[in-house]
């Protein structure tokens, strides 16, 4: 089992963009003084979020608890047998960090709440290393979107723009081929940077016609699909 830990705390500032101006925002990013460039190719991001029957992770998010966690499986693209990561996101107030564990390459279409621990080889070693007990956790929500990436010249600031959000409930899932997808036309911009770079980040934010907002794809999807 390979582990890639991001141990440093960072800010993830989120902004909701109107779809009609999102292309204009991209132009402003590329022409800003921070000299951003687009990196990678835009790609499809897939996530499966886990929670217990009481939806404690969801509730801590909407209640604004100081310490909040999200647990998800993540993979990229439309391959049937992708490289899947377990990601654990921890927020402490306004800053967060992420731990990542590489899992088995499996057929994602075969995953259900009854077999995911076995298929993804969720071992006691993984539970010990991640400090997560999976016995009471089930797959609750599937989320996908198209993401574009931008990086400042000094590599201190990263911006992502997410479009074409789709959600599906997973609590009664028979298999991943039968997702009942719900579209969301929200466009989400995130500015990500380490805590020590916070002072200059305000100059970047003020150069863009955007307003800081609170947005969680997990809580957004749960609000849309579950009667909570």
Domains belonging to the chain, first-starting first, are: 3-223 (3.20.100.30)
Report the pLDDT value the prediction gives residue 8, as an integer from 0 to 100. 84
The pLDDT assigned to 126 comes to: 86
What per-residue confidence (pLDDT) applies to 4?
Answer: 57
**How far apart are alpha carbons 57 and 176 in whole angstroms?**
23
**Per-residue pLDDT of the chain in tens (228 residues, 90 and over written 9):** 455 556 689 999 999 999 889 999 999 999 998 999 999 889 999 999 999 999 999 999 999 888 999 999 999 998 888 999 999 999 999 999 999 999 988 899 889 898 999 999 888 888 888 888 898 999 999 999 999 999 999 999 999 999 999 999 998 887 788 899 999 999 999 999 999 998 888 888 888 888 888 899 999 999 999 987
3-state secondary structure of 217: helix
User: Which of 129, 5, 109 has its CA nearest to residue 48?
Assistant: 109
Taking the C-alpha atoms of residue 38 and residue 60, their distance in angstroms, rounded to an integer, is 34
| pLDDT value of residue 219 | 97
d(CA 44, CA 32): 26
Instruction: Label the pairing between strands 3-17 and 212-213.
Output: antiparallel
Residues in CB range of 89: below 8 A, 6 or more apart: 69, 70, 71, 72, 96, 97, 98
Whole-angstrom distance, CA of residue 72 vs CA of residue 94: 20
């Amino acid at each position: 089992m390979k582990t890639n830990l991001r141990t440093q705390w960072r800010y993830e500032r989120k902004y909701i963009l109107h779809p009609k101006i999102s292309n204009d925002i991209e132009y402003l990013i590329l022409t800003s003084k921070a000299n951003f460039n687009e990196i990678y190719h835009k790609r499809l991001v897939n996530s499966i979020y886990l929670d217990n029957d009481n939806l404690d992770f969801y509730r801590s998010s909407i209640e604004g608890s100081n310490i909040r966690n999200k647990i998800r499986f993540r993979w990229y693209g439309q391959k049937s047998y992708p490289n899947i990561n377990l990601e654990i996101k921890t927020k402490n107030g306004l800053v967060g960090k992420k731990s990542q564990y590489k899992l088995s390459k499996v057929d994602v279409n075969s995953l259900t709440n009854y077999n995911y621990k076995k298929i993804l080889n969720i071992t006691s070693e993984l539970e010990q290393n991640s400090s997560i007990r999976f016995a009471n956790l089930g797959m609750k929500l599937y989320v996908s979107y198209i993401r574009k990436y931008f990086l400042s010249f000094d590599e201190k600031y990263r911006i992502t723009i997410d479009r074409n959000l789709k959600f599906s409930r997973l609590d009664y899932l028979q298999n991943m081929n039968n997702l009942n997808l719900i579209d969301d036309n929200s466009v989400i911009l995130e500015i990500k940077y380490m805590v020590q770079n916070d002072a200059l980040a305000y100059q970047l934010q003020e150069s863009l016609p955007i307003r800081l907002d609170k947005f969680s794809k997990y809580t957004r999807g749960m609000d849309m699909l579950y009667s909570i």
